[in-house]
């Protein structure tokens, strides 16, 4: 105390310390608990507000983008040769593409060009937010080109898949030529695009196309972001079991019970469906739209199941998404939340499995029955891809049931070939892609980023997992599923995706600068 400062009149003289009031112990504990609860509640509130804000931000963003797209995306069609490589066929067809110039610097600004893959082009435009997110920064024109024989770009309309004389022009190189022609057309017809550098983007098969576009036509595109592009998923380049082993590890990493449940289910299905009563039981328990009758039906069911697991692995994104099917965040975690006891008896285990499957095919709760004849990937055109797999895209797959959770199956090319011939009247050519694009021998490739290669993504088995040169580089995203880096930025993105996207931007900038520099030199 320092009374010297003239506090005399303020009653300090009469100050007396209170008596120490000791609260009873219970009250003390109760207060502490209260404090803790308030703290938790506040944190939760903060989190909720944060989430709501993020959601709001996202919604506004999406709405704005949609608005922009609606106003500015022009849907265009360009007549293209059905056959780029002969003068024997003069048919043409309309190639569909989406174009947006909201952000474009019309004096030589770059063109962001998505090399469409197996589906309607809108699916890729909606799921490749990375291009939209970066268009403004780069003043880029955005183009999404549809792959021939998908969406509305059917060269022979409804007949397109009825005979090889129509379907025969569905090849990767014909599609690349469509893109070369479209780019050439845009550059010569859009004012200011004449000297524009073109950056190719693509995910999955689209990523393969964007890499091959740069490899085969380096004068057409300055560089490529090839996400989750399994360009090595071909004969002699990758063991046939690698893909299924990665799918399995995605489930096993949640809990070994999960993959074990699936591994056990195949035998249970076989045993139960060996009787008519069993077929009936499974059909009704799993609410199948069409009851199981024949051995072919059973095989069909098992194929459908395998595809569900593969697709779950591909789209195991950290937030709710609607790429192949509407799904919750971390869908494998959700599915595996049901598959917790692989020691259940046959019927119980299959009942449990059904609960897990529900997540995939009926997340919205709208589906009345399980239709195993309907594609599990409603947004893609399975017919076209099935045909491509029967011609060029022969990707050997096998399983052993030990290192993976699938029913053992060897890779039998001649059987595969027979099936293809029955379906499409064509014979698959398993060495064509390597002969055409070089396989692992791509000595003159440059300016390609092979990205994603998420270790969750089964397609990383055939991906380029190491950099091949200074300008053909590989980016691994350990926590990434199928081409996660091409999706729009999201607050729930793992940090490696954020880093990868920055790396993409740096590379794109380098390619553009190099293009513009050599362009100026040429003038």
Site residues (CB under 8 A) for a copy of itself? 83-90, 164-171, 173-174, 180-181, 184, 216-220, 391, 426, 431, 435, 438-439, 441-446, 518
User: Is the CB of 170 or the CB of 324 nearer to a copy of itself?
Assistant: 170
- The three-class DSSP label of residue 67 is helix
Residue whose structure tokens are 């590379």 = 507
CB atoms within 10 A of CB 13: 9
For residue 205, the minimal CB distance to a copy of itself (Å) is 17
In terms of Cα–Cα distance, which of 113, 126, 178 is closest to 147?
Answer: 178
For residues 145 and 179, the answer to whether their CB atoms sit within 8 Å is yes
DSSP letter, residue 430: T
Residue 200 phi/psi, 5-degree rounding, is -90, 140
- State residue 223 phi and psi, 5-degree precision: -175, 165
Specify the residue, 468 or 488, whose C-beta has the smaller distance to a copy of itself.
468
* Shortest separation between residue 235's beta carbon and a copy of itself, angstroms: 13
Q: Shortest Cβ distance from residue 217 to a copy of itself (Å)?
A: 7
285 or 446: CB nearest a copy of itself: 446
Give me the least distance between CB of 169 and a copy of itself, in Å please.
5
For 344, residues 6+ apart whose C-beta sits below 8 A from its C-beta are 261, 352
Instruction: Name the catalytic one among 160, 167, 172, 204.
Output: 204
Least Cβ distance, residue 159 to a copy of itself (angstroms): 13
The distance of closest approach from Cβ of residue 113 to a copy of itself in the complex, given in angstroms and rounded to an integer, is 16
Q: Which residue among the candidates 147, 330, 482, 515 is catalytic per the annotation?
A: 482
Pairwise CA distance, residues 212 & 177, whole Å: 11
CB of 372 to a copy of itself, least distance (A): 29
Q: Of the two residues 214 and 263, which places its CB atom closer to a copy of itself in the complex?
A: 214
Question: 47-58: string of b/e by CB count within 10 Å (b at 16+)?
Answer: eeeeeeeeeeee
Nearer to a copy of itself, 203 or 462 (CB): 462
Measured CA to CA, the distance from residue 343 to residue 335 in angstroms comes to: 17
Least distance (Å) from a copy of itself to the CB of residue 213? 13
CA distances from 367 to 312, 353, 370, 371, 490 (A): 18, 17, 7, 9, 29
How many Å apart are CA 344 and CA 110, to the nearest integer?
A: 58
Name which of 174 and 196 has its Cβ closer to a copy of itself: 174
Q: Residues 83, 457, 485, 493: which is the catalytic one?
A: 457
| Closest by Cα among 149, 395, 407, 103 to 271 | 407
CA angle 56, 57, 62 (to 5 degrees): 95
Give the CA distances from residue 405 to residues 409, 415, 453, 507, in Å, rounded to whole numbers and listed in that order.
11, 23, 22, 39
Per 3-state DSSP, what percentage of the chain is helix, strand, and coil (rounded to 5)? 50, 10, 40
Span between the terminal Cα atoms of the chain, in Å: 86
- Residue 204 annotated among the catalytic residues of the structure: yes
**Residue 482 annotated to the active site:** yes
Q: For residue 174, which phi and psi values (nearest 5 degrees)?
A: -65, -40
- Residues in Cβ contact with 103 at an 8 Å cutoff, skipping those fewer than 6 apart: 135, 136, 138, 139, 140, 141, 142
Cβ nearer to a copy of itself, comparing 165 with 466: 165
Q: How many residues does the chain have?
A: 523
- Compare residues 129 and 168 and give the one whose CB is closer to a copy of itself: 168
Catalytic residues: 204, 457, 482
């Amino acid at each position: 105390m320092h009374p010297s400062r003239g506090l005399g009149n303020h009653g300090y003289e009469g100050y007396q310390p209170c008596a120490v009031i000791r609260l009873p112990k219970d009250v003390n504990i109760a207060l502490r608990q209260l404090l803790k609860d308030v703290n938790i509640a506040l944190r939760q509130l903060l989190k909720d507000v944060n989430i709501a804000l993020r959601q709001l931000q996202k919604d506004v963003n999406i709405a704005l983008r949609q608005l922009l797209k609606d106003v500015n995306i022009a849907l265009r069609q360009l007549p293209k040769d059905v056959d780029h490589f002969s003068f024997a066929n003069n048919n043409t067809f309309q190639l569909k593409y989406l174009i947006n110039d909201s952000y474009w610097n019309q004096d030589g600004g770059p063109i962001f060009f998505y090399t469409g893959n197996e589906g309607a082009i809108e699916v890729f435009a909606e799921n490749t937010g990375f291009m939209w997110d970066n268009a403004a920064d780069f003043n880029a024109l955005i183009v999404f080109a549809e792959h021939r024989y998908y969406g509305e770009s059917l060269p022979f309309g409804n007949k397109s898949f009825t005979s090889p004389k129509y379907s025969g022009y569905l090849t990767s190189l014909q599609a690349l030529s469509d893109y070369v022609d479209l780019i050439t057309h845009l550059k010569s017809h859009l004012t200011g695009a004449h000297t524009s550098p073109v950056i190719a983007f693509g995910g999955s098969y689209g990523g393969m196309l964007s890499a091959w576009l740069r490899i085969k036509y380096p004068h057409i595109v300055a560089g490529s972001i090839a996400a989750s592009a399994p360009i090595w998923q071909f004969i002699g380049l990758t063991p046939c079991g690698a893909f299924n082993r990665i799918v399995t590890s995605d489930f096993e990493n949640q809990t070994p019970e999960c993959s074990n449940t699936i591994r056990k289910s195949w035998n249970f299905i076989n045993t139960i469906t060996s009787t008519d009563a069993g077929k009936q039981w499974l059909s009704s328990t799993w609410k199948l739209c069409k009851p199981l009758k024949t051995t072919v039906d059973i095989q069909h069911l098992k194929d459908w199941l395998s595809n569900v697991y593969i697709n779950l692995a591909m789209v195991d994104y950290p937030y709710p998404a609607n790429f192949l099917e509407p799904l919750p965040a971390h869908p494998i975690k959700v599915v595996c939340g049901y598959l917790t006891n692989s020691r259940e008896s046959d019927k119980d285990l299959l009942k449990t499995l059904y609960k897990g499957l529900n997540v995939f095919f009926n997340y919205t709760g709208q589906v009345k029955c399980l239709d195993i004849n309907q594609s599990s990937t409603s947004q893609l055109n399975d017919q076209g891809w099935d045909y491509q797999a029967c011609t060029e895209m022969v990707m050997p797959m096998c399983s052993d049931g030990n290192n993976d959770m699938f029913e053992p199956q060897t890779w039998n090319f001649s059987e595969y070939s027979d099936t293809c011939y029955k379906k499409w009247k064509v014979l698959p050519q398993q060495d064509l892609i390597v002969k055409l694009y070089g396989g692992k021998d791509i000595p003159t490739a440059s300016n390609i980023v092979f990205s994603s290669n998420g270790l969750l993504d089964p397609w990383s088995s055939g991906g380029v997992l190491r950099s091949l040169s200074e300008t053909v580089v590989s980016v691994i995203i350990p926590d990434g599923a199928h081409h996660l880096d091409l999706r729009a930025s999201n607050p729930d993105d793992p940090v490696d995706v954020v880093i990868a996207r920055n790396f993409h931007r740096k590379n794109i900038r380098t390619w553009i600068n190099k293009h513009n520099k050599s362009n100026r030199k040429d003038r």
